[in-house]
């Protein structure tokens, strides 16, 4: 594990401040300490139904390295979720800032809402804000320009798949995006 990669066999409790906040916070809020000492990145993203790491990986625009019968290759996260290959690792480019929030869940109840976001500094291109939300077992994502004000960014995000989210989810998305834009450069 380093600032821009994590291996599929890394235990969740090993994920620390070297990786972006969004991934560290996602790992830190999975299950109990005992779960995090045995569960792995690959087991979570490929093998679990909750996949709390997936929204974080999506907003980092992470690429996966996977092992198949004909060898090792790169895949995007949608393919990893659909085909469930062996995940060797993830890599991404460090965002300018990122954030993660999981609402409290009830034991045996519906999966708690997860909101992940990252601000990516454009390299010769406009900044981008990526947001991913787990609502129930479904994960929705959207990307919007991050150079304009928060209202413009939120309006653009509403025009993506995230527009389908209920008002209660937007009550969590909205302050997170505003905070992300304000914290520019602090990740
Ligand atoms: C009490 C409890 C609470 C939990 N709470 C949460 C939660 O809040 N949020 C959340 O997201 N998850 C939660 N989980 C799931 C947990 O994070 C792990 O994802 C899950 O336990 C799998 O653990 P593991 O990594 O040891 O995989 P294993 O148990 O070893 O394997 C599980 C499956 O994943 C496959 N797998 C393992 N590694 C890889 C890989 N590298 N590539 C492809 N497939 C692989 C295996 O083949 C198997 O099918 C919880 C689990 C428990 C037991």
pLDDT per residue over 114-152, tens digit each? 999 999 998 788 899 999 999 999 999 999 999 889 999
pLDDT for res 138: 94
Percent over 70 (pLDDT), the chain:
98
Query: Where do the DSSP E strands lie in 22-113?
Result: 63-68, 71-76, 86-91, 97-102
Same domain flag for 104 and 84: no
Model confidence at 22: pLDDT above 70: yes
Query: Where do the DSSP E strands lie in the chain?
Result: 5-7, 63-68, 71-76, 86-91, 97-102, 114-120, 128-135, 138-145
- CA dihedral for 78, 79, 85, 91, sign (positive or negative): negative
The residue range of the domain holding 69 is: 5-91
Report, as an integer, the average pLDDT of 7-29: 98
pLDDT for res 45: 97
pLDDT for res 186: 46
* Residue 26 DSSP SS3: helix
Same domain flag for 142 and 124: yes
Which atom from ligand 1 is nearest to the alpha carbon of 53? 11
Q: What is the CATH number of the domain that holds 68?
A: 3.30.465.10
139-155 exposure pattern, b = at least 16 Cβ within 10 A, e = fewer? bbbbbbebeeebeebbe
Same domain flag for 51 and 120: no
Q: How far apart are alpha carbons 184 and 98 in whole angstroms?
A: 9
pLDDT for res 107: 78
Same domain flag for 82 and 107: no
The answer to whether residue 187 is domain-embedded is no
Same domain flag for 79 and 116: no
Ligand 1, pocket residues at CB < 6 Å: 8, 30-31, 35, 38-40, 42-44, 46-48, 50-52, 86-87
- From atom 26 of ligand 1, which residue's Cα is the shortest distance away? 39
pLDDT for res 126: 83
Span 149-187, pLDDT tens digits: 999 999 999 999 999 999 999 999 999 999 999 987 444
- CA dihedral for 151, 157, 159, 165, sign (positive or negative): negative
Same domain flag for 86 and 155: no
Which atom from ligand 1 is nearest to the alpha carbon of 52? 11
pLDDT for res 114: 98
Span 39-55, pLDDT tens digits: 999 999 999 999 999 99
Looking up tokens 């320009």, which residue turns up? Answer: 145
- Summary mean pLDDT of the chain: 95
The answer to whether residue 15 is domain-embedded is yes
Domain count, the chain: 2
Q: How far apart are alpha carbons 31 and 102 in whole angstroms?
A: 12
Residue 107 phi/psi, 5-degree rounding, is -55, 130
Same domain flag for 129 and 70: no
Which of 64-68, 80-84, 103-107, 170-174 shows the lowest per-residue confidence on average (mean pLDDT)? 103-107
């Amino acid at each position: 594990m380093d600032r821009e990669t994590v291996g599929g066999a890394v235990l969740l409790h090993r994920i620390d401040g070297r990786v972006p906040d969004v991934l560290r916070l996602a790992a830190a809020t999975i299950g109990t300490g005992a779960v995090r000492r045995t569960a792995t990145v690959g087991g979570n993203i490929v093998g679990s139904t909750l996949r709390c790491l997936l929204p974080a990986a999506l907003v980092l625009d992470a690429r996966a390295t996977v092992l198949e019968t004909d060898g090792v290759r790169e895949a995007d996260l949608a393919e990893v979720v659909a085909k469930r290959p062996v995940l060797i690792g993830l890599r991404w480019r460090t965002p300018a800032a990122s954030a993660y929030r999981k609402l409290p869940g009830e034991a045996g109840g519906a999966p708690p809402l997860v909101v992940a976001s990252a601000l990516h500094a454009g390299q010769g291109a406009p900044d981008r804000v990526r947001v991913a939300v787990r609502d129930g077992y479904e994960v929705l994502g959207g990307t919007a320009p991050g150079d304009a004000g928060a209202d413009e960014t939120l309006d653009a995000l509403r025009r993506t798949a995230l527009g389908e989210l209920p008002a209660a989810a937007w009550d969590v998305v909205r302050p997170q995006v505003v905070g992300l834009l304000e914290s520019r450069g602090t990740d």
